[in-house]
Amino acid sequence: MRITSTPARFPLATLPTPLVPAFRLQRAIGGPLVWVKRDDLTGFATAGNKARSLEFLLGDAVAQGCDSLVTGGGAGSNFCAAAAAASQVANLACHLIFYGSPPEESPAGVHPNLAAAGAAGARIHFTGRTDRAEIDRAVPALAASLAARGGRPYALPRGGATAVGALGYAAAFGELAEQLDQQEVEPGAIVLATGSGGTLAGLLVGQAATAATPEATTARAAAAPEATMASASARARARAGSPPWRIIGATVSRPPNQIRSTVDTLASQCSQLLGGHRASTNPCTVVDARAPGFGLASDGGERARAIALATEGLLLDPVYTAKAFAVVLGLVADGYDRPIVFWHTGGLPAALQQMADNHLAANHLAANHLAANYLAANYLAANYLAANYLAADGCTTDRSTLCPTPP
pLDDT score of 188? 95
* CATH number, span 67-151: 3.40.50.1100
Distance CA 386, CA 402 (A): 13
b/e per residue 222-242 (b: at least 16 CB within 10 A): eebebbbbbbeebbebbeeee
- Closest of 174, 162, 164, 171 to residue 226, by C-alpha: 171
Chain segment 20-55, per-residue pLDDT in tens: 999 999 999 999 999 999 999 999 999 999 999 999
pLDDT score of 3? 41
Angle between helices 214-223 and 232-239 (to 10 degrees): 140
Contact 234, 181 (CB under 8 A): yes
Residue type, 340: I
Per 3-state DSSP, the chain is made up of helix, strand and coil in percentages (nearest 5) of: 50, 10, 35
- The CA-to-CA distance between both ends of the chain, in Å, stands at 103
* CATH number, span 19-46+162-346: 3.40.50.1100
Considering the chain, tell me which residue range(s) the CATH 3.40.50.1100 domain(s) occupy: 19-46+162-346, 67-151
pLDDT score of 209? 85
3-class SS at 14? coil
219: Cβ–Cβ under 8 A, 6 or more apart, which residues?
275
Chain segment 163-195, per-residue pLDDT in tens: 999 999 999 999 999 999 999 999 999 999 999
Per-residue pLDDT of the chain (407 residues; tens, 9 = 90+): 444 445 899 999 999 999 999 999 999 999 999 999 999 999 999 999 999 999 999 999 999 999 999 999 999 999 999 999 999 999 999 999 999 999 876 556 789 999 999 999 999 999 999 999 999 999 999 999 999 999 999 999 999 999 999 999 999 999 999 999 999 999 999 999 999 999 999 999 999 888 764 444 433 343 444 444 444 445 444 444 444 789 999 999 999 999 999 999 999 999 999 887 554 456 689 999 999 999 899 999 999 999 999 999 999 999 999 999 999 999 999 999 999 999 999 999 999 999 988 877 776 565 565 655 656 656 666 666 666 666 666 655 444 444 444 54
Distance CA 307, CA 317 (A): 13
Contact 36, 311 (CB under 8 A): no
Distance CA 163, CA 274 (A): 10
What is the DSSP code string of 27-81? HHH-SSPEEEEEGGG--STT-TTHHHHHHHHHHHHHHTT--EEEEEE-TT-HHHH
pLDDT score of 44? 98
Neighbours of 29 (CB within 10 A): 15
For the entire predicted model, the pTM comes to 0.83
Neighbours of 376 (CB within 10 A): 10
Contact 273, 201 (CB under 8 A): no
Residues in the chain: 407
